[in-house]
Amino acid sequence: MGVSGVWLGLTLALVLLPSNIPAAAVPLLRAEWSASAVVVGWVVGAYLAGYAAAVVMILPLTDRLPSRRIIVAGAAVSALASLALPLVARDPWIAVALRLIAGAGLAGVYMPGVRVVAATARPEQRGLAVGLFVASFYLGSAASFLVAGLLIGDSIGWREPMLWAAGASLVGVGLAFGGAPPLPPAGGKAILDLTVLKEARLMRTVGAYSGHAWELFAVRAWMTAFLASVLVAQGATTADATGEAGRWSALILGAGIPAVFIGGWVSDRLGRARTALTIAIASGALGFVFGALGSAPWSVLLAFGFVYSGLIAADSAVYSTSVTELAPAGKLGSAQAIQAFIGFGAGAVGPPAAGLALDLGLGWVAVFGVAGVASFIGALPLLRDLRRQDGAPAQ
């Protein structure tokens, strides 16, 4: 990844800095708003829903307009909506509305950034280059949990950390303006081209990515709450448990940073489909185990958490790279829009679906089991692509 890719990676990380404060503060939000797990799950998931809704309009524009213009605008919208959240949100539904807007802004940064990095990388290093950029997504997400974990305590709630994180994300606007290269557009349509839905291999990849997104964001939404519940059971107050759980969540989710580009590097050598299928099955299986470890020794729980987080993240770059390789000529923007709409749409439903399991009294095994089932179901169609391997790195 060249210099411009590094700048774009920093932009993405800063834009994401406020993104997981609500997830890290789930116990506090439920208490403040007297909200169910499903409702708070929608506060978390609305960010992804806004992303999914926006990409069908934004990403096709990258076939027609310079990517830098779109990335700068997206960074600004996301930062300003995140800044408004702690200032005006007095109930969960106002928070949902602002999270929708912030997620829509992210749509102008993430996938257009993938496109720029993939277009400027050498083919034999494309998986690694995209992996390094996607790792910035995990860096920003983990840093968001860390900000919450460091600042939330008995005397400070969730609003102050959100203000700090949102203010810092404004720096990403300037980085986007200076760091995104003036990559010329492909000259395709500036509207969504639905003919990409006819590409069978592309749609199998999108389906697998959807299972990955559901799993990733369901786990990310409830990781802190799960760890906090363990600490409360050991005698900690809700606020202190939330802060400490946020710090540990940042470290655990940070395991995805190296895992994501390792996965991309492996897929350059073993093939996209084989790598993604193996990772998805492994992470899905571990999801059924992780939620049962609440009464295990703290060190054992954390060790499993690090492995689990790495597996969940490791196939991210594989799917993003595959889409850039399988999209028809001149239709990459539309292909990425379909990927993001379906994938992040599934990701938006994951947190409230897992929360419903909690509201129904099914416990933490069911919460993480919901994530694991999605990983299995999404990845299975990739079995067809294993039979079509011809030795080329793009599967």
pLDDT the model gives residue 2: 55
CATH number of the domain to which 63 belongs: 1.20.1250.20
- Which amino acid does the sequence have at 12? L
- Which amino acid does the sequence have at 279? I
pTM of full prediction above 0.85: no
Q: Is residue 391 part of a domain?
A: no
192 Rama class: left (phi>0) / alpha (psi -120 to 50) / beta = beta
Q: For the chain (length 395 residues), average pLDDT per consecutive 10?
A: 69 93 89 90 91 82 74 92 94 94 92 78 70 82 87 78 92 77 55 80 91 92 92 88 89 86 83 89 90 92 94 87 83 81 89 90 91 88 71 42
Q: Is residue 350 part of a domain?
A: yes
Q: Is residue 393 part of a domain?
A: no
Query: Over the range 146-181, which residues count as b (16 or more CB within 10 Å of their CB) and which as e?
Result: bbbbebbeeeebbbebbbbbbebbbbbbebbbebbb
Residue 349 · residue 362 · CB < 8 Å: no
Here the tokens at position 166 are 């949102």
CA distance 5 to 49: 26
Closest CA to 354 of 376, 373, 380: 373
| Overall number of domains in the chain | 1
Q: Is residue 347 part of a domain?
A: yes
Q: Is residue 270 part of a domain?
A: yes
Q: Is residue 311 part of a domain?
A: yes
Compute CA distances 308 → 27, 198, 206, whole Å: 22, 34, 22
Compute CA distances 171 → 109, 165, 174, whole Å: 14, 11, 6
202: containing domain: 3-386
Q: Is residue 392 part of a domain?
A: no
Q: Is residue 223 part of a domain?
A: yes
Q: Residue 300: exposed, middle, or buried by beta-carbon count in 10 A (0-12, 13-18, 19+)?
A: exposed
pLDDT the model gives residue 394: 39
N- to C-terminal Cα separation, the chain: 22
Residue 186's SS3 state is: coil
